[in-house]
Structure 1
Amino acid sequence: MSHADLTLTGWSGLSDEAALRTATAIAGSTQARLTGIGAHAYAGRSGRVAFFERDDLRYALVPGGTVALGFDPDRFTPSARQVADFAEAEVESALTAFLAEMTSPARTVTLPARLVAVSSEVTDTLLPDGVDDHAELIAALGRRGLRPPSPDEWEHACGAGATTLFRWGSDYPAGEPYGKVPLIQDPNLLGLLIGDDPYRSEFTTDPAVLCGGDGGSALCGGSGPFLSWLSVATAFRDPDLAEVVQEGGLTGETPIRPVLEIP
């Protein structure tokens, strides 16, 4: 079996010795260096993480398999605070309809295991020669043996199997997602720093889809806690964001999270 077929359940179920052998083999097949492996907990869930390094970038193992992604607003019961926060935002749509518009639909997909950068990097930092559009971004990463995650891969890396609105649950802490806030800046179940800043919307393989934030528009625009927190929901989608980034000359300022495929 190829290690690209490793599932989250399969990875978690390995003995410590078998997990070390597997991670070591993955490091060899990707020309990376295994830097750590061990138990990790996040938001009441526990699992195992493995970290790697290649070309000064740090990666975490993200197992694949058949996974549930997206969000079903009809199964969401907002807290009283969320209802009040949403009312404060003065959105014309009902809350359920708005969530359906601003999140990807619930679905089941099958994904390969892969190594995913622990942190995203601003495009001009990762690719100092500069890129002007999405096609150039894909080509420049490809020359380094890398690529962005697909939208499905990004969601799975962020949620790590959680089907709630956020990777930690359905509600959010008091205040807005700015500064040092519990849950948002902590490494997720797979050890990734992801969906941790509304300003850091990240490129994916789909030029029309950025994930992980709204570029800070809700937070900076004073839209209130609900819309600001929604921008870091696992399945959040802003249908207009990609056009704003690419036509506004913001490609170099927008983060990328490199993916290293496991053969």
Structure 2
Amino acid sequence: MNYSIENKHLKITVQETGAELCQIQSTVTGKDFMWNADPAVWASYAPVLFPVIGAIKNGFVKYKGREYAVPRHGMVRNNANVELTGQTTDSLTFTLKYSEETLAIYPFEFEFQITYRLDGNKVVVDHKVLNHGDSEMLFSLGGHPAFKCPLHDDEIYEDYYLEFEAIENDSTWLLAKNGLVENTTRPVLVHTNILHLNSHLFDNDALIFKHLISKQVSLRSTKSSQVITLHYQDFPYLGIWAKPNGHFICIEPWLGIADSADSDQNFETKEGILKLEAGGTFNAVFSIEIHE
């Protein structure tokens, strides 16, 4: 089941399965801004990442003497147990709660809510995590939205670039073929706020930034006026990714990161892991702003 809301600027549609944003469309021009999830290339639109980001070393984490096979990117993505639990004229809220099935692979009594809200020309994505257990809960969360690139038939991928709000000096952390983060880096942003896109930028998988100054980044074209800006104030990590020769770009705000190649697999010491007290609530928001 898909659910849609719209205002005078935008229409969005969200799949109940996985609470996945699958459409951002201008209500003025009809232009679509999201990737179409072509299964021949990459069959997703904007996976929701919880309670882990990316790959887990050897496919499991260790917690209090047990092993838990948390799936890559977590358990919300493609999950048919996600339910629409709230709808207004300008918002949609989806919820996934713990069950016997989730406790077998993730040992916490969680409730995960994600709300998509229209605010003028912005799509606000609000994450809420509740700990219903009687002990501290460990988790990560993040977004993985894929934007159409190029947006127009007369453009090519190389016409596009990412513009960060600040001059950056940051390197990407290299990924092994199994998706784990290695202890080596490669310079990407060297005293610049511009990252030009090209078909080989992701030949070695995603770009992973840990030390950006910027808290917003815009997808721009040298040939057209549309701008997509992602604001990620609450998120310390940023991933940039596409399939080689895929006509999209993923801009991924993360609270957490894939396991490192030398991880001891201990969930409590995992890089970027968040801790939520018993009975506690956690919120994090990013937004997608569209300028035509």
Q: TM-score, normalised by structure 1?
A: 0.29
Structure number having the greater strand percentage? 2
Structure number having the greater helix percentage? 1
Q: TM-score, normalised by structure 2?
A: 0.27
